Chains A and B, each alone.
Chain A
Amino acid sequence: MFSFILRKLATVIPTFIGITLVAFALIRMIPGDPIEVMVGERRLDPEMHAAAMQRLGLDQPLHVQYFTYLGKLAEGDLGISLVTREPVTKEFLTLFPATVELAICALIFAVLFGLPAGMIAGLKRGSVFDHGVMGAAMTGYSMPIFWWGLILIMFFSVSLGLTPVSGRIAIEYDIPVKTGFLLIDSYLSGEEGAFKSAFMHLILPTIVLGTIPLAVIARMTRSSMLEVLREDYIRTARAKGLAPTRVVVVHALRNALIPVITVIGLQTGALLAGAVLTETIFSWPGIGKWLVDSISRRDYPVVQAGILVSATIFIVVNLVVDILYGVVNPRIRSHK
Chain B
Amino acid sequence: MTTPVQTVEAVPSFPSPLKEFWQSFSANKGAVVALFIFLFILFCALFAGVIAPHSPIEQYRDHMLTPPAWAEGGSTQFLFGTDELGRDILSRLIHGAQVSLMIAFMSVVMSMIPGVVLGLMAAFFQRYLSPVIMRLMDIMLALPSLLLAICIITILGPGLINTMIAIAIGTLPSYVRLTRAAAMAEINKEYVTASRVAGASTLRLMFVTVLPNCMAPLIVNATLGFSSAVLEAAALGFLGLGVQPPTPEWGTMLSAARDYIERAPWVVTMPGVTILISVLAINLMGDGLRDALDPRLKRAA
A151 touches B155 (CB 8 A): no
**How far is the CB of B296 from the nearest CB of chain A, in Å?**
13
- Select one of A151, A219, A223, A227 contacting B269, CB under 8 A: A151
Per the bound structure, the CA–CA distance linking A146 and B269 in Å amounts to 12
Contacts of A310 in B (CB 8 A): 143-144, 147
Interface residues of B in 243-292 (CB under 8 A from A): 251, 254, 257-258, 261-262, 265, 268-269, 271-272, 275-276, 279-280, 283-284, 287
Q: Is the CB of A144 within 8 A of B145?
A: no
Interface residues of A in 1-54 (CB under 8 A from B): 11, 14-16, 18-19, 22, 26, 29-31
Query: Are A14 and B138 in contact, with the CB atoms below 8 A?
Result: yes
Cα separation A26 to B155 with both chains bound (whole Å): 7
Residues B142 and A158 in contact, CB atoms below 8 Å apart: no
Q: Are A307 and B261 in contact (CB-based, < 8 A)? A: no
Kindly supply a per-residue 1/0 record for chain B positions 109-142, scoring 1 wherever the CB is within 8 Å of any chain A CB and 0 otherwise. 0000000000000000000000000011011001
A19 touches B142 (CB 8 A): yes
Select one of B136, B258, B287 contacting A150, CB under 8 A: B258
Asked if residues A147 and B138 are in contact (CB atoms below 8 Å), the reply is no
With A22-B151, A26-B154, A292-B239 as known contacts, state yes or no: A142 contacts B276, CB within 8 Å: yes
The residues of B that contact A315 with a CB separation of less than 8 Å are: 142
Contact residues in A for B143 (Cβ distance below 8 Å): 19, 22, 307, 310-311, 314
Query: Smallest Cβ distance from A270 to chain B, in angstroms?
Result: 7
**Once the chains bind, are B139 and A295 in contact (CB under 8 Å)?**
no
Interface residue B231 (Cβ < 8 Å from any Cβ of A): yes
A162 at interface by CB-CB < 8 Å: no
Q: Are A147 and B155 in contact (CB under 8 A)?
A: no
Interface secondary structure of B, over-half rule: helix
Nearest CB of B to A190, in Å = 35
Contact B146 A276 (CB under 8 A): yes
Contact at B268–A14, with CB atoms within 8 Å? no
**Chain A: which residue is nearest B278 at the CB level?**
A142
Nearest-Cβ distance from residue B171 to partner chain A, whole angstroms: 13
Contact of B144 among A220, A222, A270 (CB under 8 A): A270
Complex Cα–Cα for A315 and B143 (A): 9
A residues contacting the other copy or chain, number (CB 8 A): 51
Q: Report if B66 contacts A (CB, 8 A).
A: no
Q: Are A150 and B135 in touch, CB under 8 angstroms?
A: no
Whether A18 lies near B261 (C-beta < 8 A) is no
Assess the A15–B272 pair: CB atoms within 8 A.
Answer: no
Interface bits A291-322 vs B (CB < 8 Å: 1, else 0): 11001100010010001001100110000000
Chain B residues with CB below 8 A from A151, complex form: 268-269, 272
Chain B residues near A272 (CB-CB < 8 A): 144, 147
- What is the CB-to-nearest-CB distance from B178 to chain A, in angstroms, rounded to a whole number? 16
Q: Report yes or no: A142 in contact with B261, Cβ–Cβ below 8 A.
A: no
Q: CA separation between A143 and B254, bound complex, in Å?
A: 14
- B interface residues (Cβ-Cβ under 8 A, vs A): 135-136, 138-139, 142-147, 150-151, 153-155, 227, 231, 234-235, 238-241, 251, 254, 257-258, 261-262, 265, 268-269, 271-272, 275-276, 279-280, 283-284, 287, 299-301
- Which A residues contact B (CB, under 8 angstroms)? 11, 14-16, 18-19, 22, 26, 29-31, 134, 138-139, 141-144, 146-148, 150-151, 153-154, 158, 219-220, 222-223, 226-227, 269-270, 272-273, 276-277, 280-281, 291-292, 295-296, 300, 303, 307, 310-311, 314-315
Known: A150-B268, A150-B272, A276-B146; 18 extra A-B contacts, CB below 8 A, are A14-B138, A15-B142, A16-B142, A18-B136, A26-B151, A30-B154, A139-B276, A141-B283, A144-B231, A146-B238, A150-B257, A151-B269, A154-B261, A158-B261, A222-B301, A295-B153, A303-B151, A307-B147
A-B contact pairs, 21 of them (CB 8 A): A18-B136, A19-B142, A22-B143, A26-B154, A134-B301, A141-B283, A144-B238, A144-B275, A144-B276, A147-B272, A154-B261, A154-B262, A222-B301, A226-B301, A270-B144, A272-B147, A276-B150, A277-B146, A292-B239, A300-B154, A310-B147
Closest 4 CB pairs of A and B: A147-B272, A18-B139, A223-B301, A273-B146
